Amino acid sequence: MSSLAFTHLPHPNPTADDVRAVAIADPAFGRVFTDHMVSIRYKEGQGWYDAQVMPRGPLMLDPATAVLHYAQEIFEGLKAYRTDDGQMAMFRPHANAQRFNASARRMAMAEIPEELFVEACKALVEVDKDWFPNVEGGALYLRPFMYASEVFLGVKPASEYHFLVIASPVGNYFKSGAPAVSLWVSEDYTRAARGGTGAAKCGGNYASSLIAQQEAIAQGHDQVVFLDAVEGRWIEELGGMNMFFVFDDGSLVTPPLSGTILPGITRNAIITLAREAGLTVREEAYAIDQWQADAESGRLTESFACGTAAVVTPVGKVSRGDHQFTIGAGGPGQVTQMLKEKLVGIQRGRVADDHQWVLAL
Ligand code: PLP
Ligand code: COI
C-alpha cells in the first residue's frame, strides 16, 4: 500500500446504462472514455499530494504551463482485462510503473512511487468497472500520464507535476480488420538517436513520428518502420510497436534495446514465451536490406509487431521507396499465431501464468 489515500468524488451525472452499452459495443481504439479519472499532484519540497478519483473532465491550464512550451510529458499504456471467468485483472502494471519512472528520469521529471502508480490504475478500474467492452479482444486501456504543471517560462525541469490516469474501452487497434498489416519504411525521418529520448515514453517521440506516419497512411499503409539514425540501415521499431522476425529454422530476431527503441513489455513477454516454447530468440541488429532479401528468399517466414495496443499483429507487406515485398504468404504465420495465443491466453486466464504477470483486481 502507498501512504497516500485517494479521495473519491463520484460522478454526479454518470453515463446512462443504455448510452454506455452503445459506446462500448464497438469502441475501436481511443475514442470512448469512462466517467472517471485519477488525479495526483506533485510539488518539489512537498512530494505527492491530493490523490483523487474524480469525474473525468477538461483540465484548466494557465497559458504559461511549462508542458505547453517545453513538452515535459510522459505516458504509459496498459490494459485491464476481464478473464474468461469474469474477474478483472491487469497485465504487468509494475513493469509499466518502472518504465514510467525510467521515462521520468530521462525527462528530468519527478518519479512516482511504484505502488501509487499501480493503485491509481486499480482505483480507476474499480470505479469504472462497468466499462469493459464485450467485443472479442476488448479491454479497458489505461493511460497514465504526467505533465509539467509549473507556470514558468524559464527552460528548466519543472518543480510541479500533475499525474493522471484515464481509461478507454478498446477493441482492435487496427481498424482495417485485415489479417495482417502493411508497413511503410521511412527513409526521410528517424525516430531516435544515440543519447536521445527513444527509450522513454514521452509525448515528443510521438509528435516527431507523426509526419512519417502520415506519409505511411498517404501511401496506403498502416504503420511506419523507423530505421536507425546513423546509417539508415538497421530496423528499429514501428511508431508504436516493437518488431519480431521469424526464420525458417524456427529462430526469432528482435532489435536490441540499444537506447533508441522503447523497451516494450509485450516484447519482453514474447521473448520469454518464445524461449519457453523452445525457440531461439536473438536480440540483434537486423538490416532492412537483409529483411527484404530474407523475405524474398524464403529464409524469413513471418514478421510481427507487438505492443499493448496492437497485442501481436502479423505483418503482411512492406514498402520501401518503389520496392514492395511480401512476408511469407502475406497473412498470419504459425509462430506468430502460437505466441499470440499464449500471450492472450495468459491475459485471459486460459493459460497458466507461470511468471505472475497477471495482477487480479
Ligand atoms: N514501441 C513504441 C514506440 C510504443 O509506443 C509501444 C507501445 O507502448 C511499444 C513499442 C510497445 O510497448 P509495450 O509492449 O510495453 O506496450
Ligand atoms: C500502447 O501500445 O500502449 C501505445 O502506447 C502505443 C500507441 C500507438 C497507442
**Nearest ligand to the C-alpha of residue 144?**
2
**What is the rounded average pLDDT of the residues 286-312?**
97
User: Is pLDDT of 177 > 80?
Assistant: no
- What's the predicted TM-score (pTM) here? 0.97
**158 and 187 housed in the same domain:** no
Extended beta strands in 171-259, E state:
181-185, 223-227, 235-238, 242-247, 252-254
pLDDT of residue 87: 93
Give yes or no: residues 222 and 255 share one domain: yes
Do 273 and 334 belong to one domain?
Answer: yes
Say yes or no: 114 and 28 in one domain: yes
Looking at 170, 190, 225, the residue that finishes a domain is 170
Q: Residue 75 CA: which ligand 2 atom is closest? A: 5
- Do 278 and 320 lie in one domain? The reply is yes
The DSSP code for 202 is B
In this prediction, residue 2 has a pLDDT band, given cuts at 50, 70 and 90, of: low
95-106 per-position pLDDT tens digit? 999 999 999 999
What is the Cα–Cα distance from 133 to 24, expressed in whole angstroms?
5
- Mean pLDDT, the chain, whole residue set: 96
Is 112 inside a domain boundary?
A: yes
Averaged over 132-153, what is the pLDDT?
Answer: 95
Per-residue confidence (pLDDT) for residue 274, from 0 to 100: 98
Q: Dihedrals φ, ψ of 360, to 5°?
A: -70, 145
Give, using CA atoms, the residue closest to atom 1 of ligand 1.
Answer: 241
User: What is the model's pLDDT at position 176?
Assistant: 62
Distance CA 230, CA 185 (A): 16
Report pLDDT digits (tens) over 53-110: 999 999 999 999 999 999 999 999 999 999 888 899 999 999 999 999 999 999 999 9
Last residue of a domain, one of 143, 170, 197: 170
Residue 358 lies in a domain: no
Domain's final residue, options 121, 151, 170: 170
Lowest mean pLDDT among 140-149, 167-176, 187-196: 167-176
- Domain-embedded: residue 128: yes
Our count of domains for the chain comes to: 2
238 plus 318 within the same structural domain: yes
Q: Does ligand 2 come within 6 angstroms of the Cβ of 309? A: yes
Kindly indicate the confidence band of residue 1, based on its pLDDT and cuts at 50, 70 and 90: low
Looking at residues 212-236, what average pLDDT do you find?
A: 97
Whether residue 361 lies inside any domain: the answer is no
Range of the domain at 87: 7-170
Ligand closest in space to the Cα of 268: 1
112 and 149 assigned to the same domain? yes
CATH number at residue 328: 3.20.10.10
For residue 149, tell me if it sits in a domain: yes
Q: Ligand 1 pocket test: which of 242, 265, 304 has the largest number of ligand atoms within 8 Å of its C-beta?
A: 242
Domain assignment present for residue 87? The answer is: yes
Ligand 1 near 213 CB (within 6 A)? no
pLDDT band at 173 (very low <50, low <70, confident <90, very high): confident
Q: Can you state the percent helix, strand and coil of the chain, rounding each to 5?
A: 25, 30, 45
220 and 241 share one domain = yes
Each residue of 257-278: pLDDT tens digit? 999 999 999 999 999 999 999 9
pLDDT at 56: 98
Mean pLDDT across the stretch 20-39?
94
C-alpha 43 to ligand 1 mean position (Å): 29
Instruction: Give the residue-averaged pLDDT of 327-350.
Output: 94
- What does the pLDDT read at residue 83? 87
pLDDT class of 137 with cuts at 50, 70, 90: confident
Which residue among 173, 210, 237, 262 is best mutated to probe the pocket of ligand 1, counting the most ligand atoms within 8 A of its Cβ?
A: 262
Within this chain, do residues 130 and 12 fall inside the same structural domain, yes or no? Answer: yes
Both 329 and 208 in one domain: the answer is yes
pLDDT at 200: 98
Q: What is the CATH number of the domain that holds 62?
A: 3.30.470.10
Residue 223 main-chain phi, psi, to 5 deg = -150, 160
| 262 C-beta closer than 6 A to ligand 1 | yes
Ligand 1 midpoint to CA 77 (Å): 8
308 lines ligand 2 (CB under 6 A): yes
User: Is 144 a pocket residue for ligand 1 (Cβ < 6 Å)?
Assistant: no
Residue 176 covered by a domain: no
CA distance 49 to 7: 11
Query: Ligand 2, atom 3: nearest CA belongs to which residue?
Result: 77
Grid cell 475501436 — which residue? 28
Query: Which atom of ligand 1 lies nearest, measured to the CA of 267?
Result: 14
Q: What percent of the chain has pLDDT over 70?
A: 98
Ligand 2 in reach of 138 Cβ (< 6 A): no
165 has pLDDT over 70? yes
Whether 2 is covered by a domain: the verdict is: no
Looking at the fold, whether 302 and 323 belong to one and the same domain comes out as yes
249-259 pLDDT, tens digit per residue, is 999 999 999 99
Could you please report the per-residue DSSP string of 66-105?
THHHH--EEE--EEEEE-TTS-EEEESHHHHHHHHHHHHH
Give the pLDDT score at 172.
82
Mark whether 238 and 260 lie in a shared domain. Answer: yes
